[in-house]
Amino acid sequence: SREVTAFTGGETTKRLVTGGGCPQRHPRCCPSWVFLHEKAYQVRDTAIESSVVTKVKGVGRYAGQVLDTADYVTPPQGTSVFVVVTKQIRTEDQEQGVCPESEAAFHCSADRDCRGLSPGTRMLTGRCVRYNATLRTCEIQGWCPPEVDTVDVPVMLEAENFIPSSFQTWVELGRCRFHPQLQPLCPILRLGDVARLAGQDFPALAATGGVLGIKIGWVCDLDRAWERCLPRYSFTRLDSLARTPAPGYNFRHARYYRWPNGSEHRTLIKAFGIRFDVLVYGSAGKFGIVPTLINTVAAFTSIGVGTVLCDIILLNFLKGAEHYKARKFEEVSRGAGACPPGALGSCTRDKQSTDSGTFSLGL
């Protein structure tokens, strides 16, 4: 920076010319922003270790049966990832053998039509056999009869009222329900509320399946009492609906059994459901002398305090202070013998300074 003093018509004008930097009115230029809002005086740790235990409660009616958590929740261990099944396509009494495929891609009129097809996940025999009185399809080997997953089946809408919970110690379980304003710390949530807070329509989500994230954030200031270290809940949808060949979430599983004659059979279930991922994140901070010193120096430098301190030392305590004053403060006199504006050549200006530096500090 350079301060210039000019005398014009008996009036004195002083101005301090500085280089670029942070605007003085910007909040980040203030040391209080760095230390109070950003807590730059703390040592922070973001390596959060957590263990989440979940449990789902509720019963629903589906396909003429009453289902409980053993029927529609998987896996049953109560981990941080669980699925609530909302729709099922069941293929009953399958056994190993050969049978005609049901999908339209395997329609045929002769054996040659089946030999050129890509089998995909099926084991083709290469024969074109009769599916019904009017249709012929390629024959497969495996579990028969084949699955028909294009049928329209109902959705268990009672799942909207099911209640998953994550156990914590500061809440009396059973006496609260999560609400973002009224009960923000309650770990007992209603599935319909989770979908709504994630911006989803529950009936549509239950029909196709999807993945929802229950995010638990721990941002703690350890300089305060530990009782104030509390979580914050937020919700979002994790799977993408755009540019996805098979939107939603579904999986297949089977239940096996053996008949008295020794033959093995199974019931194949294609389950559509909502997968819940409980995600824990956070950070903790505590006062530390090293970050305090580093950020103090950085904050003072950003607002020019370093320049002021250097000027005080150079103007008042060093041997060559008078020479530095003459270079820093320029007095321009406009009067007799003074150079006209724009004059060049032999015209000279005298430079002198009687400022001790205290006046510049006052400015």
- Quickly list DSSP for 200-253: --HHHHHHH-EEEEEEEEEEEETTS-GGG--EEEEEEE-S--TT-SS-S-EEEE
Least confident of 183-187, 238-242, 339-343: 339-343
**Which structure tokens are listed for 308?**
């002021």
Q: Average pLDDT, stretch 335-357? A: 51
| pLDDT for residue 307 | 75
**Which structure tokens are listed for 263?**
């033959």
Q: Residue 175 in 3-state DSSP?
A: coil
| pLDDT for residue 163 | 84
Geometric angle at alpha carbon 216, from 213 and 218, rounded to 5°: 150
Instruction: Decide which of 301 and 195 is more confident.
Output: 195
**Which structure tokens are listed for 155?**
């959705």
Residue 344, pLDDT > 70, answer no
* Whole-number CA gyration radius for the chain: 39
| pLDDT for residue 205 | 94
- pLDDT tens for residues 156-193? 988 998 888 765 544 455 578 888 888 888 888 999 99
**Which structure tokens are listed for 140?**
């497969």
Phi, psi of 280, deg, nearest 5: -110, 130
| pLDDT for residue 290 | 85
| pLDDT for residue 21 | 44
CB atoms within 10 A of CB 268: 19
What is the pLDDT confidence band of residue 196, given thresholds at 50, 70 and 90? Answer: very high
Residue 358, pLDDT > 90, answer no
| pLDDT for residue 357 | 47
| pLDDT for residue 2 | 44
Q: Average pLDDT, stretch 333-350? A: 54
- pLDDT tens for residues 291-319? 888 877 777 776 666 677 777 888 888 88
**Cβ atoms of residues 222 and 237 within 8 Å:** no
User: What rounded mean pLDDT belongs to the chain?
Assistant: 79
Instruction: Decide which of 196 and 292 is more confident.
Output: 196
Instruction: Decide which of 343 and 302 is more confident.
Output: 302
Instruction: Decide which of 162 and 4 is more confident.
Output: 162
Least confident of 16-25, 140-149, 248-257, 280-289: 16-25
Instruction: Decide which of 260 and 337 is more confident.
Output: 260
| pLDDT for residue 12 | 44
Instruction: Decide which of 117 and 208 is more confident.
Output: 208
Geometric angle at alpha carbon 360, from 33 and 330, rounded to 5°: 130
Q: What is the pTM of this model?
A: 0.68
Tell me, what amino acid is at 155?
V
| pLDDT for residue 174 | 58
Percentage of residues in the chain having pLDDT higher than 90: 31
CB atoms within 10 A of CB 312: 14
Residue 13, pLDDT > 90, answer no
What is the pLDDT confidence band of residue 348, given thresholds at 50, 70 and 90? Answer: low
Residue 96, pLDDT > 90, answer yes
Residue 147, pLDDT > 70, answer yes
Q: Average pLDDT, stretch 78-89? A: 90
With tokens 């989803």, the residue in question is 200
**Cβ atoms of residues 268 and 251 within 8 Å:** no
**Which structure tokens are listed for 111?**
């054996």
Burial 194-221 (b: 16+ CB within 10 A, else e): bbebbebebeebbbbbbbbbbebeeebe
| pLDDT for residue 356 | 45
| pLDDT for residue 135 | 93
- pLDDT tens for residues 243-302? 677 788 999 999 999 999 999 999 999 999 999 999 999 888 888 888 888 877 777 776
Q: Could you give the angle at which helices 305-316 and 289-302 cross, rounded to 10 degrees?
A: 80
Pick from 212-221, 240-249, 321-330, 347-356 the range whose average pLDDT is largest: 212-221
